[in-house]
Structure 1
Amino acid sequence: MTKTATTPTKKRALLLGCPDERLKGVRRDLQTMKGILAPRGFFCDVVYRATRDQIVAGLESLAREAGQGDAVVVYYSGHGALVRRSSSGSGASDRPLQFLVPCDFDDTTEDDFRGVTDAQLSQLLRKITDRTDNVTLVLDCCHAARMARVPGTVKTVDGEFYKEVFGHIRAMLEDGRLDAGGAHAERNPRLVTVAASAQGESAYERPFEGEAQLGVLTEALECILGRAPDGRGEMVQEQEVSWRSVMVRVRDRFKVTCPSQFPQIEGDDLRFTFSLSRAQLDGALPVEITEGGRVVLHGGELHGIRKGDTYAVLPASEERNISAREIAKATVERVGPVASHVSLNKDVAQISRQHGRSGGMKAFPKSRKMGKLPVAVRHWRSSVDVAGLIGASPFLYVTDERENAPFALIRQEKSIVYLESREAGDVVLTGRWDLNKQNQTKSVEECVRKMEVMARSRHLFAVAKQTESKDIARHVSVEVGTVAAGGKKQPSGPKGLVVKEDDKIYIEVRNEGRSTVYASIFDLCPDSVSLLSTASPSGRELMPGETYLYGERDIVFGELEGSRMSWPEEMPRDSKRFFERIVVVVTTGRMDLRCLETQSGSSASRGDELDAEGLSDLLSDIIFDTRRGGVGPQRNEPVQFGMRWASIELTQT
């Protein structure tokens, strides 16, 4: 993964501003964003007071002009709106409808809707990602019916307005302006989206240091990404930083400037900013030092963290574990549901002064006590010390298969190395390497990394079984099944769901309790853990009685398309079947749980922050189930989690 391998051939940015009489900071937002992008080599097309047609034309122009390898940024500052249907009965999906509010929005008529709907925006962005994979969308706007970005000012949208938006989208579908096909069930996988607020919440602008108004998200991005370091409009060599690390610091900045606002990151947050190269965070978690001098690791029972685990603490700017950059060694002393207290082997006060109390450090695992899983080795003849590699792993240990049933087996036959997963009598071949055709050391290291992923998947499933009896989990129902012709649901039977390749499945999650919860859906394969609900990386909000149907198209009519089942690309086809587990993590607050996700065949996780709105304001209280308050929306209960799960057996066609 070299920097030159993904260097964009061209860099283009479309900066859109839509002010009104109350949004005073839009012009400065655009200037600030140009100050971030232009020194990085972006040609910036700035459109102030953008109309609907200008927004559409600008995006279509990007789609025409972009080429493979180009870097594209789309930035919007203005109002965003979300409307919900006030009553059912139209036969359409009940999902909320979102749209941007251009400057000519007030010219909307019954036959001419002047907003830019999420469906239309998604289609325009898909045309751009069809040309280049390196696309970033930044939305400094609300995603709720409360569209104000000025604190204290709330702009509401009549619930009946839902019919107008729905009618507009239906008309676009009927006359061909909007394509119902090709929509992603969750999110465009090639797009990274930075959003100022969660769905259903407001975003704000405010004065900073006595100056003119500025969007809170835009100000945070300027603080972290900055302007040209040399002050002459040209970027000097900068350290690559991932969007994940940027968002940890953005959320930390929000705790100071606007605690009630919770920014979101969607897409591959391991990408370096405005690049396709990726960080190697290897399960890193944020560390912070509270006002009282207590050191907190943002990971807990949900992560399988246990007392006595040790971590290497590095500066937040580090994107991989480099021993020479280690600040201190952290040891877990007390574990809570979603975060833990740790001790450091160096002076906490000095580290706090040097690296900041919050968001300035991240921790990489050194040794784990979560329960290493046994691995057997059979007929090993390679010169590579596979037992040593397994012994050095925080997740594995070598065992004698005759004395202890292993969860995985490595065996060598001539030059071929096989990796088998074993569970309840089932043997599944999950990997195969030819040592005569591949580098021996790299092949064995890859095999061990894959076993570490298998171990993490097994641990997460164990946590799911242990926590499904919690009240929060019992109040959420989960149904899985296949999708037949015409979008008809066929639920699984009591023995679980059995499917073949190319079958389409759905997952239905329903909140049957009395309180709002947030649901994240994960797929546990033999060699990977993947987040399925990618459209809501901090959890899909479910109000009492509300249902989330995974497998719907991301289009207003909610047509049930289903998710196609396929054999994992890196798994040999020698086995006739294997089991997947669908795990639904239910929380009482927004949490970015991509820290649980892995890449197939790698130990690297896809998200290192675990945060909830206002989490670190009184984090010590939350960790150990004490009550808390704070600035912004009040929560009278601590953040809790529970899990539900379902099994799917996938067979070859």
Structure 2
Amino acid sequence: MTRRALLLGSATYGLQGVDNDIDQMEDVLTARGFDQAMITTCTGKDATYHGMTDALRQLCRDAQQGDTVVVYYSGHGALTDGLQYLVPVDVEESTADDFRGLLGAELTEVFRRLTEKTPNTTCVLDCCHAGALVRGPGRLRLKSRSLPGLPMAAAHERAARIGGTDLELVPHLVRLTASQQAESAYEAPVDGDGGRVRGLFTDALAALLRDPRTGGLPWTVLLRRVRDRVKQTSDQWPDAGGEAGRLPFSLDVPRQPELLPLERVHGRFRVPGGQVLGLGAGDVLSVVFPDDTPHEEAAEDRTLTVRGEVRGLDGADALVDLEPEPAGLRTAQLPPGAYAVPVRLHDRRRVHLDAALPRAYAAALRAQVASCPRLALADSADDAFATVLPGAGGGAVVHLWDRLPARTPLPATPEAVRDLTALLETLARGERLRALGDPDDGQRLEASVEVRAERQPGTGDGWEPLAPRGATLHPGDRYRLTVTHDGDQVLYAWIVAVGLSGRTELVTNDQPSGVRLRARGSGHDTTVCLGPVRLFWPDDVPKEGPRPETVHLLVGNRPVDFTPLVSRGARERARRQPDHPLRHLLDELWDGAREHRRDQEAQRDRELHYRVLSLHALMRPLDRA
């Protein structure tokens, strides 16, 4: 098992920090156990289209099952004539028969080949694809590029041969991107380093990966800290998608408490989207402020934890009072990566423990459930959403309110209590989200949005309309949602699915902070197709049905990271389903019209308002015949 990395750096159109980015990533990877002999760089005059594609092909040939693979890119991205691509150093040598941009569709196919060999693959992109070149504020230099005048016929022909924009997203891949799909990335001189220019995203990511205090944190947590650091300097929004619940450069998914995002706006602490995440007045949180002192200067980890209480809602955001509020935080910036952990919530699902369970097992389970913020004990099965009963083979089985078994039997041993409690938490989250609907007027988004839902039978026949309620689905069917926005403001969309197993999944987790819906008059298409998504029957759920399958489309007025909605078990779906479409890389890199910086900041400062459009279907395990 070898650790391999390919570092691509294309310094074009005035970028000054690309080589520094490459050097920094090489140092970080070496410190993380990558052999320098297995780190390949393609920079300078070698970073041509053919130089970069040859390096990617060689990586695909060399990679073996069990390897750890990283592909990193620093440079410009571009959007021209509806196609998105990275910008090699020879892009201006493109001819009518030879386009020299590296298309997003080509990257998709590279990562598909890599993940077929090894799922432990990470893609890091420090670039952005802007519709037009916009000068950055102050010392910041934009890492996006618009290149009008290039001969695009060859690019369109190549994209069509690969599959155009209909390619499904690569499963298993961890995707770390410097900004949202419709915004920009920057480079700037770094204070305290002789004024060397670096990408803001790369510099923040490298600093955290070098810090020994972050050794046990998954990508999702690290990228939240990266985002907060970068936002102190610019308006870009780094994100982590795909299998980002893993530890860096690993397939391991650590057990983590439910981490809720935290912001401070106009002096008030708030959890953005807290209502969607299940928060309400009176809920108790543990608010954590990580130590952001550079690790070379920090004698120890001085993370601060404070009790917080939800005092109410501002739109759909939960307002949090700290008790007491640390004096040092009243005027200082919020420490990067601050978060909240639920301690006691008002919306708890009740669990009944059958009297026939082994006594020691029931006692241990009772103690675990009582300490869980989203669960409570019920006196009878009639008052419970789930009941734990003895299994026929000596284990324990969970039945939901519909009395269908939720899982095959689990061992009825005290050691298995933690796993069973995690399962009950997953089911509780799923039951809560399944009932999600439009909020009250104070939180509801008033916007013109149309949605067309369609399904494709597993037989591969054409697409047909999907009724919002009561449709019957089967394993192998696919669905997609086409969203059209006809308003004057930029909106964001998420698909949240609650499967027949009770697991919740953020289907749009390649863009967990929201898929951008462009405003009318932006000069770009205001229709976005989300999907297709293939349905399957999980191996650990008894094939008895029908069982409910729920899909929610959330549309909001600002970006919010809804990663906390994901069940821990949802990631297993991508591992078992090789063609699981989380959306493909080309869509991640798509860029539309970019609003003025102040407009973006005002949008992020406003409270979240949202609406929900839902599909409620039934999944049947039987063949149609």
The interval holding the TM-score normalised by the smaller chain is 0.7 to 0.9
Give the drift of 1:252.
Answer: 1.3
AA matched with 1:381 = L
Post-superposition shift, 1:313? 3.6
Secondary structure in structure 2 of the residue aligned to 1:472: coil
> Does the CA contact (< 8 Å) of 2:286 and 2:342 recur in 1?
yes
Matched, 1:197 2:176: no
Q: Distance in 1 between matches of 2:67 and 2:441?
A: 46
Kindly indicate whether the alpha-carbon contact (under 8 Å) linking 1:79 and 1:148 is maintained by their aligned counterparts in 2: no
- For the structure 1 residues 334 and 348, does the alpha-carbon distance in structure 2 shift closer, same or farther, using more than 3 Å as the test? farther
Give, in angstroms, the shift of residue 58 of structure 1: 0.9
CA distance in 2, matches of 1:36, 1:398: 48
Residue in 2 aligned with 1:274? 249
Q: Distance in 2 between matches of 1:481 and 1:468?
A: 29
CA distance in 1, matches of 2:352, 2:240: 40
Q: CA separation in 1, counterparts of 2:516 and 2:319?
A: 29
Q: 1:367 aligns with which of 321, 344, 357?
A: 344
Give the secondary structure class of the aligned counterpart of 1:497.
strand
Equivalent position of 2:419 in the other structure: 446
1:190 aligned counterpart, secondary structure: coil
CA distance in 1, matches of 2:281, 2:213: 41
Q: SS at the partner of 2:555?
A: strand
Q: Which moved more, 1:142-151 or 1:263-272?
A: 142-151
Cα distance, 1:347–1:548 mapped onto 2, change above 3 Å: closer
1:519-546 per-position Cα deviation (integer Å, ceiling 9, x unaligned): 1101112421001123322211122473
Deviations 1:535-565 (A, max 9, x none): 32221112247332233xxxxxxxxxx4332
1:422-457: CA deviation from partner (whole Å, max 9, x where unpaired): 2xxx432212325xxx35124444333222222212
Indicate how the Cα distance of structure 1 residues 392 and 312 shifts in structure 2: closer, same or farther if over 3 A, else same: same
Structure 1 range deviating more: 465-474 or 478-487: 465-474
CA distance in 1, matches of 2:208, 2:417: 39
Q: Distance in 2 between matches of 1:238 and 1:452?
A: 26
Gaps of 5+ in 2: 293-301, 572-596
- Aligned twin of 1:218: 202
Query: Which letter does structure 2 place at the counterpart of 1:52?
Result: Y
The superposition leaves residues 307-345 of structure 1 with CA deviations (integer Å, 9 ceiling, x where unpaired) of 222223445489xxxxx9873322223333454333334
What count of residue pairs does the alignment treat as equivalent? Answer: 566
Shift of 1:458: 2.1
Identity %: 27
Residues 531-546 of structure 1 mapped to structure 2, 5 A cutoff: 531-543=506-518, 544=520, 546=526
* Preserved CA contact (<8 Å) 2:493 2:554: yes
Query: Residue 347 of structure 1: CA displacement?
Result: 5.6
Partner of 1:578: 547
Q: Cα distance 1:601–1:583, how it changes in 2: closer, same or farther (>3 A)?
A: closer
Task: Kindly indicate whether the alpha-carbon contact (under 8 Å) linking 2:120 and 2:172 is maintained by their aligned counterparts in 1.
Answer: yes
Tell me the CA shift for residue 646 of structure 1.
0.9
CA contact (8 A) 1:467 1:643 kept: no
From 454, 457, 463, give the equivalent of 1:489.
463
1:99 and 2:85 equivalent? yes
Helix, strand or coil for the counterpart of 2:353? strand
Residue identity in the other structure for 2:182: G
For the Cα contact (< 8 Å) 1:316–1:360, is it kept in 2?
Answer: yes
Q: State the shift of 1:649 in Å.
A: 0.8
Residue among 73, 77, 86 paired with 1:76: 73
Match of 2:327 among 342, 346, 349: 349
How far did residue 295 of structure 1 move? 4.0
Shift of 1:351: 6.9
Cα distance per residue 1:292-311 (max 9 Å; x no partner): 5x544455212111222222
Q: Distance in 1 between matches of 2:391 and 2:510?
A: 44
Is the alpha carbon distance of 1:597 and 1:120 closer, same or farther for their aligned partners in structure 2, counting shifts above 3 Å? same
Residue 20 of structure 2 corresponds to residue 46 of structure 1: no
One-letter code aligned to 2:537:
W
TM-score by structure 2 length? 0.81
Structure 1: runs of 5 or more not aligned: 1-8, 86-96, 230-235, 319-323, 552-561, 603-628
State which of 474, 479, 486 in structure 2 corresponds to 1:500: 474
- Check whether the contact 1:570–1:600 (CA below 8 A) recurs between aligned residues: no
Aligned-pair CA distance for 1:100:
0.6
C-alpha contact 1:204 1:215 (8 A) present in aligned 2: yes
The CA distance in 2 between the partners of 1:155 and 1:391, in whole Å, is 55
Q: Secondary structure of the equivalent of 1:331?
A: strand
AA at the equivalent of 1:378: D
| Cα pair 1:290 1:357 within 8 Å, conserved | no
Of 242-251 and 501-510, deviating more is 501-510
Equivalence for 2:578: none
Determine the structure 2 residue equivalent to 1:565: 535
Q: Residue 113 of structure 1: SS of its match in structure 2?
A: coil
By how many angstroms is 1:168 displaced?
A: 2.7
Moved more, 131-140 or 99-108: 131-140
1:17-42 per-residue CA deviation (whole Å, 9 max, x = no partner) reads 11124112222221222222222232
Contact 2:291–2:335 (CA under 8 A) maintained in structure 1: no
Secondary structure of the 1:257 match is coil
Retained in 1: the 8 A contact 2:358–2:412? no
2:625 counterpart of 1:652: no
Residues 306 and 322, structure 2, Cα contact 8 Å, conserved in 1? yes
1:332 pairs with 307, 310, 318, which one?
310
Distance 1:486 1:225, change over 3 A: closer
Alpha carbons 1:76, 1:141 under 8 Å: kept: yes
Provide the rounded CA distance (Å) in 2 between the counterparts of 1:180 and 1:631: 33
Match of 2:21 in 1: 29
Whole-angstrom CA distance in 2 between matches of 1:470 and 1:312:
25
Partner of 1:480: 453
CA RMSD of aligned residues (A): 3.4
For the 8 Å contact 2:175–2:510, the answer to whether it is kept is no
The reply to whether residue 429 of structure 1 matches residue 402 of structure 2 is no
The residue that corresponds to 1:144 in the other structure is: 130
Letter in 2 for 1:106: E
- 2: CA distance between counterparts of 1:103 and 1:647? 50
Match of 1:311 among 285, 308, 314: 285
Residue 379 of structure 1: how far off its partner (Å): 3.9
C-alpha change, 1:169 and 1:601, in structure 2 (3 Å) is: closer
| Contact 2:498-2:504 at 8 Å conserved across structures | yes
CA contact (8 A) 2:71 2:124 kept: yes
Aligned residues of 2:272 and 2:560 also touching (Cα < 8 A): no
C-alpha distance in 2, partners of 1:473/1:565?
32
Return the offset for 1:193: 1.6
The DSSP-based 3-state class of the residue aligned with 1:329 is: strand
Verify the 8 A CA contact 2:80 2:131 in the aligned structure 1: yes
* Residue identity in the other structure for 1:419: V
